[in-house]
A = this chain, B = another copy of it.
Amino acid sequence: MKHLKIVALASGSGSNLQSIIDAIEKKQLNAEISLVVSSKRKAGVIARAEKYNIPVIVVERRIYKDNIRGFSAKIAQVISDFSPDLILLCGFLSFLSEEFCQLYENRIFNIHPSLLPAFGGQGAYGIRVHRMALKAGVKVSGCTVMFVDAGQDTGPIIVQKCVPVLEDDTEESLAQRVMTAEYQAYPEAVRLFGQGRLSISNNTVKISQRKDED
């Protein structure tokens, strides 16, 4: 597996970033987090990054209002010095412009706390996703790691993991259980990427066999 330079974009605590940091520290991933970009000035991800001596740059989303292109262009400018191989969205509460998605085509991952296509799309983020799942009465939920495209939760799916929905689940208890699956899924997807095993055809992800001691 080649050494990956990763840039993470986050708006909150960046708990999913922790799964990547942990996998790197355990040598399960040959990678480094080169930079964290926070879209909020007081996001918890900032302290998390500082704890691991990861540089942080804040690009405030609120300043750009509905100017997604300007916001995305600023992020592109900020991260270009770091020449990232891969961009990971870790609870990043903004869209990215089509230009940005094209610039880093097939090199941006996001993670979503449901088994897409269920409970994705507009308004489906954070705890709301689990509210939707409980309201629908599903007995299985999970998480999805996908490539980011210009659509909303429509990019090609890389990894999905299931968890049971239990009888006495609240939104919070279900979120917690799905998060344990996310901690598995995100590093797994990054590893497949680093091993060069992912390709996209017809908007679906093909995962090639392992070739060697990757």
A117 near B115 (CB under 8 angstroms)? no
Q: Which stretch (A31-39, A66-74, A95-103, A135-143) binds chain B?
A: A135-143
B138 near A116 (CB under 8 angstroms)? yes
> CB within 8 A of A203: which of B117, B137, B161, B162?
B137
Considering the complex, give the chain B residue whose CB is closest to the CB of A118. B118
A12 to chain B, nearest CB (A): 26
> CB within 8 A of A115: which of B137, B138, B202, B208?
B138
Number of interface residues of A (CB under 8 A): 28
B137 near A140 (CB under 8 angstroms)? no
Complex-state Cα separation, A142 to B141, whole angstroms: 11
Tell me how many chains of this kind the complex includes: 2
A139 near B118 (CB under 8 angstroms)? no
Complex-state Cα separation, A138 to B135, whole angstroms: 22
A157 near B142 (CB under 8 angstroms)? no
A135 near B207 (CB under 8 angstroms)? no
Which A94-143 residues have C-beta < 8 A from chain B?
Answer: 115-118, 134-140, 142
Complex-state Cα separation, A134 to B88, whole angstroms: 25
Complex-state Cα separation, A129 to B116, whole angstroms: 15
B167 near A138 (CB under 8 angstroms)? no
> CB within 8 A of A137: which of B118, B135, B162, B205?
B205
Complex-state Cα separation, A161 to B138, whole angstroms: 11
> CB within 8 A of A204: which of B135, B142, B207?
B135
A159 contacts the other chain (CB 8 A): yes
> CB within 8 A of A140: which of B160, B204, B208?
B160
CB neighbours (8 Å) of A116 from chain B are 138
Q: List 23 A-B contacts (CB under 8 A).
A: A115-B115, A115-B138, A116-B138, A117-B118, A117-B136, A117-B138, A118-B118, A134-B204, A135-B204, A136-B157, A137-B202, A137-B203, A137-B205, A138-B160, A139-B144, A139-B159, A139-B160, A139-B205, A140-B142, A140-B160, A140-B162, A167-B206, A167-B208
Question: Residues of A at under 8 Å CB distance from B?
Answer: 115-118, 134-140, 142, 144, 156-162, 167, 202-208
